[in-house]
Amino acid sequence: MQANDRDNASLWDMVQAIRLIQEFVTSLSYEDYLNSRRDQMAVERGLEILGEAARRLSEEFRQAHPEIDWRNVIGLRNVIIHRYEQVQQERIWAIAIAELPALLAHLEPLLPLDEIG
């Protein structure tokens, strides 16, 4: 399925959010992350953007790419925004370190060639 302009913009936002999160955590240990509310909030904000951009993708586009767990990407955004008191930093760290690289590997090939960079 060919992505429309809105889908392409949302994909771009998702890729950029993941890249920024990776920049935030790359030089941190888990202990450093836990001791820095600023870093925690930066990662959470990146995950909010990631989930919101995923939510904005057309349903047709999401259905065309079932290899991506859209429900959990969007669901995490909802928890961070609406049930922020339930955010578990251990889980956020695990997502940032272990899950986002695989998600990025799925998303980057979906970007139009002139958008990769």
Distance separating alpha carbons of residues 109 and 10, to the nearest angstrom: 14
* 25, 106, 116 from 37: Cα distances, Å: 13, 30, 32
Residue 17 located in a structural domain: yes
> Within 10 Å of residue 35's Cβ, how many Cβ atoms?
11
Residue 40 located in a structural domain: yes
Secondary structure of the chain: what % helix, strand, coil (to 5)? Answer: 80, 0, 20
> What does pTM read for this prediction?
0.89
Confidence of residue 117 (pLDDT cuts 50, 70, 90): low
Residue 59 located in a structural domain: yes
Confidence of residue 112 (pLDDT cuts 50, 70, 90): confident
Residue 14 located in a structural domain: yes
Residue 22 located in a structural domain: yes
Residue 25 located in a structural domain: yes
- What range defines the domain where residue 60 resides? 5-110
How many structural domains compose the chain?
1
Q: What are the residue numbers of the active site?
A: 77, 82
